[in-house]
Amino acid sequence: MNLSTIDISVFVLYVVVLLAIAYKVSKDDKGHEKNTNDYFLAGNSLPWWAVGASLIAANISAEQIIGMSGSGYAIGLAIASYEWMAAITLIIVGKYFLPVFLKRGIFTMPQFLEQRFDHRVKTILAIFWIGVYVLVNLTAILWLGALAINTITGVDMVYGMIFLGLFSVAYSLYGGLKAVAYTDIIQVVLLVFGGLFLSYVSLDLISNGQGIIEGFSILMDKAPEKFDMILSEDNPHYMSLPGISVLVGGMWVMNLSYWGFNQYIIQRTLASKNLKEGQKGIAFAAFLKLLMPVIVVLPGIAAVVLSPDLERPDMAYPTMMNLMPVGLKGLVFAALVAAIVSSLASMTNSIATIFTMDLYAHYRTGKSQQHLVKVGRIVSLGGLVIAMIAAKPLLGQFDQAFQYIQEFTGFFTPGIVVLFLLGMFWPKTTANAGIAAALGSAVLSFAFKIGLPELPFMDRVGLVFLLCLALAIVVTLLENKGRHENAVELGDIAFGTTRSYNISTVAVSLILVSFYAAWW
């Protein structure tokens, strides 16, 4: 085992404190039993700081920390485009999407689709999301988290997955989203400070104690190819990040789908006290996203110099953690586990929300609120067990799990983005058009994957999005039904934003431009 007694003590203290806080915030008032709004939407009580912290904690997990750090080792700073472009995407989501969702008073994304289109659209997407969350996202979080624990402590992968699953269940299963969101504040503090410290120590080691500025300068000199934000066509990783497409192509589609229409992300904003609090939380999260590459990508690039002969890229972050001094290694390890279990808890809660509210409650009408909460807890536990069983067969052979996740989800996201964008902003869009876009996305993506294997997947995502958009428009026009009876009444929705939100938009945009200008 590579953790000292002091490291283990630091980690155990973190576990105890987290469980204690989760228990405290989960307690019901005397005489009150949790209903579905309490369990799945935290009673619409989340303030902006809880919304913002929970968005980041749900997003940054094993596939981000381990997977993106591994891609930093293999590809370089270019992988940070996923983080930096997400910041501006969040601003768009807060201004144009969140007002629509909160006005509708929804629990889930499939529920919005039923309100806007019909039950068929809701059911298709609900089943799809549950499948992806369990077999792609949960498996990735568990597998990469267990890989990190194995690398750092030597604990067997299976036992590592069991520990992560039990830990997430222990603090989230009873309290639901409220327990997850409020403990996420601790998780994000640990994640940010632990990650920043890891980057600091890595750069200081590179400079032999001469400081982080000198270390960063040496790193850029020794691995200049790792600091190209826009990859050229002769770069061996061009297929993963195809040049200018990261700014004007398929990455926009990927980010809009993930941050705008992804249940386990958007659920935090649906639980906010009101629209202004939700938007402030989103702006807070956008600034944190700008910081994430320093925390998750930079250690991977540093590993190119400090540990150039890694067996596989996804070992970069755990290897850097093993360079930490005694005691502080325990803190960084706690930060990593914090990110993992937070995402596990968020994901299982969203799986339970979709299954319970969109599928179970529809076919088992008349059940009490407490019964539905119980079903949600059972589904959360069941999803974890299935993911543990499926993790190794699905992910064991991949060197860069982050890229695998992006590639897989890229088959479906174009149609999902078309479905939501037209559903919100084009009143004539029909249910059949939405289904055509959703199903056409998978068919077209697989066709291009087989027929044009040389086409970078991000370019494929952008192309399929345009084709699905055209398909949905054509189907709508052919049906010629006029304005849909369930069309969103945009005139009733307040898209105006506060002065502070507008200032945040300008600040995020300027920071983003400066980053790309510096490392173009």
- Residue 459 and residue 342 share a domain: no
Max Cα distance, the chain (Å): 71
- Residue 348 and residue 215 share a domain: yes
Residue 272: strand pairing partners: 46
Residue 46: strand pairing partners: 272
pLDDT the model gives residue 464? 96
Of the given ranges (220-234, 275-289, 423-437), which has the lowest mean pLDDT? Answer: 220-234
Q: Per-residue pLDDT for 466 more than 70? A: yes
pLDDT tens digits, 30-51: 655 667 777 777 677 789 998 9
CB 358 within 8 A of CB 41: no
CA 229, CA 250: separation in Å to the nearest integer? Answer: 16
Residue 227's identity, in one-letter code, is: F
- Residue 184 and residue 100 share a domain: yes
CATH number for the domain spanning 391: value is: 1.20.1730.10
CB 462 within 8 A of CB 249: yes
Mean confidence (pLDDT) of the chain = 86
- Segment 446-457 shows an average pLDDT of 90
pLDDT the model gives residue 31? 56
pLDDT the model gives residue 406? 67
pLDDT tens digits, 101-145: 999 888 889 999 999 999 999 999 999 889 888 988 888 888 878
- Segment 309-315 shows an average pLDDT of 83
Count up the domains in the chain and report the number: 2
pTM for this prediction: 0.87
pLDDT the model gives residue 42? 67
Q: How many CA atoms lie within 13 A of 343 on its CB side?
A: 27
Instruction: Give the domain range for residue 325.
Output: 17-25+33-402
- Residue 310 and residue 437 share a domain: no
- Residue 343 and residue 202 share a domain: yes
The answer to whether position 5 is within a domain reads no
Q: Residue 28's CB: how many other CB atoms inside 10 A?
A: 11
- Residue 235 and residue 121 share a domain: yes
- Segment 71-93 shows an average pLDDT of 91
- Residue 79 and residue 204 share a domain: yes
Q: Per-residue pLDDT for 363 more than 90? A: no
- Confidence band of 403 (pLDDT split at 50, 70, 90): low
Q: Per-residue pLDDT for 286 more than 70? A: yes
Helices (H), 355-412: 361-363, 369-395, 401-409
pLDDT the model gives residue 396? 63
CA 147, CA 137: separation in Å to the nearest integer? Answer: 15
The answer to whether position 330 is within a domain reads yes
- Segment 270-290 shows an average pLDDT of 93
- Confidence band of 284 (pLDDT split at 50, 70, 90): very high
Q: What are the percentages of helix, strand and coil residues in the chain, rounded to 5?
A: 80, 0, 20
More confident residue, 287 or 67: 287
Which residues, 6+ apart, have CB-to-CB distance to 487 below 8 Å? 116, 427, 428, 429
User: C-alpha angle 291/296/299, rounded to 5°?
Assistant: 115
* % residues pLDDT > 70 (the chain): 94
- Residue 94 and residue 213 share a domain: yes
More confident residue, 51 or 520: 51
Long-range own/partner contacts, residues 448-457 (CB < 8 A, 24 or more apart): 449/411, 456/238, 456/239, 456/240, 456/241, 456/242, 456/245, 457/239, 457/240, 457/250, 457/406, 457/407, 457/410
Q: Per-residue pLDDT for 270 more than 90? A: no
- Segment 426-444 shows an average pLDDT of 94
- Residue 423 and residue 302 share a domain: no
